[in-house]
Amino acid sequence: MDSASLYKPLIRGVAVAAVCVSLLSPSVVSAQNRSAPTSRAEVQLSFAPVAARAGPAVVNVYAQRVVRSMSRDPFFGRFSGPRMEQSLGSGVIVGADGIIVTNNHVIEGAQSLKVVLADRREFDAELVLADPRVDLAVLRINTGGERLPTLQYANTADAQVGDLVLAIGNPFGLQQTVTSGIISALARTEVGISDYAFFIQTDAAINRGNSGGALVDMNGALVGINSAIASESGGSNGVGFAIPSEMVRRVVESAVSGGSTVIRPWLGARLQTVTSDLARSLNLPRPEGVLVSQLYPRSSGERAGLRLNDIILSVGGVDVRDDAAVRYQFATQRPGSQVPLVVLRGGRQISLTAVAEAPPGGAPDPVLLAGRHPLSGARVVTLTPATAEASRVDPFADGVFIQALDRRGIAARIGFRVGDIIDEVNGQPVRDAAQLDRLMAQARTWVIGVERNGQRAELRF
């Protein structure tokens, strides 16, 4: 079985403990004075105060969707009819004025949303912002001016493997349940659940139904939003994954500021993980950091002073070991903020400062190609770092990429796919969507340069 298939979203139940914060004055809880238990009395201390503090901020999220099901009638044959489907997940109140965060997969495709508080009061909810790329969504309920219970965000930079955590929620539709465990790993980037993976792993029992709930530390602060489990059976095997609180806060801040999308800063560097073989070739004593193999012109990284073959050791004070970690750490910074980088260059460490900026290039309008040619029915967009990042395409590539395909169009029928990059037509480099439209319309035979999944080919029609 492909390892990616082991990761299961956690729908069908109310999730874990909610930890909340006032959006007007967000604060962060730092772990201090860490020490191991020194007496039997300390070992027998109860988690009850933490659970009692976090419990009131846990909510149920009901998402209703209209689906069409196919069935066979003995008289009328096959027919389809609408059917109401309801899923149950959880949410965390992150704003006393009724702002709630949950997983995107809990509410995706819903026609109506309802939130049930811990005291059993029910509210209709509206979707403020959905962010599928990190599997988060922000909802709002009208509290009529009432202030809801909130807790603080944790500073996950202080989190350590072995820290105690609680999961509070409603797995399998049961009423509020508390499970305890530890943080069993940090900075999981190889999970493959979302585009900005940097998950906190826990062995606290997480099961189906915990989606959108919170992982809570011993200060009662939000460590992360539980999102998935690694399981062949669908049950808890002691490996659950939570989206760290700093990413949650960035998404919530974007939502409450009126944004329709989350602006994620971009360093502008192509990076390569330093493996054992690469470390030996670079005369490094051990594998560490990520190697800068390409810089986008005038990007934040280049202006900060990064050079080719630099090895980035940390971003924002957090050690990084692969491209995903660098992307995550940069993406969680507020636009315009100063981001410290520690870089290894020529055998010595140097400090640089990059500005957190959105990828350049804006969002050019898409062009729908039509006519009697091989790309008819394709909607294409000029490649810029901004459009590439938004569409999961290589931001260093040149040309245009296919954003969508009409399934009945020529392009779809002959095998073009969404995400294909068109960089050349009849020997002429393609620089933007309007130029591609002209080149396709003017020719009667075509040699099209196409890049797909890092492989390039020339197709003749």
Backbone φ and ψ of 248, nearest 5°: -60, -45
Does 163 qualify as catalytic in the annotation? no
Please confirm, yes or no, whether 437 is among the known catalytic residues: no
Q: Which of 105, 203, 254, 300 is catalytic?
A: 105
What's the pLDDT score for residue 230? 73
What pLDDT, on a 0 to 100 scale, did the predictor assign at position 30?
52
Both tokens of 281, joined, read 């070739």
Q: How far is CA 118 from CA 167, 220, 270, in A?
A: 15, 17, 46
What pLDDT was estimated at residue 125? 94
Two structure tokens written together for 430:
């393609």
For 353-356, the CB contacts below 8 A with 24+ separation are: 353/304, 354/267, 354/300, 354/301, 354/303, 354/304, 354/306, 354/330, 355/300, 355/303, 355/304, 356/265, 356/300, 356/330
> How do beta strands 290-295 and 269-273 pair?
antiparallel
Token readout for 359 is 């990828």
Active site residue 135: yes
pLDDT at 28: 52
Phi then psi for 304, rounded to 5 degrees?
A: -75, -15
50 contacts 124 by C-beta, under 8 angstroms: no
Q: How far apart are CA 242 and CA 320, in angstroms?
A: 19
Radius of gyration of the chain (CA): 25
Which one is catalytic: 135, 163, 203, 423? 135
**Per-residue pLDDT, 309:** 92
DSSP letter (8 states) at residue 387? H
| Strand locations in 142-289 (E) | 153-154, 164-169, 177-188, 199-202, 214-217, 222-230, 240-244, 269-273
- Residue from 184, 211, 300, 376 carrying the catalytic annotation: 211
Token match 């189906």: residue? Answer: 208
Confidence at residue 440, expressed as pLDDT on a 0 to 100 scale = 92
Per-residue pLDDT of the chain (461 residues; tens, 9 = 90+): 333 334 455 544 333 333 333 333 444 555 555 666 677 776 667 888 888 899 899 888 888 877 655 555 454 455 555 666 677 888 899 999 999 999 999 898 888 999 989 888 999 999 999 988 889 999 999 999 999 998 789 888 788 888 899 887 777 766 777 888 898 888 777 665 666 777 888 888 887 777 888 899 998 999 999 887 776 666 666 788 888 998 899 999 999 988 778 888 989 999 999 999 998 888 888 898 999 999 999 999 999 999 999 999 999 888 898 888 898 888 888 889 999 999 999 889 999 999 999 888 877 788 999 989 999 999 999 998 888 887 778 888 889 999 999 989 999 999 999 999 999 999 999 998 999 999 999 989 999 999 988 888 899 99
Q: How many beta carbons lie within 10 A of that of residue 322, not counting itself?
A: 18
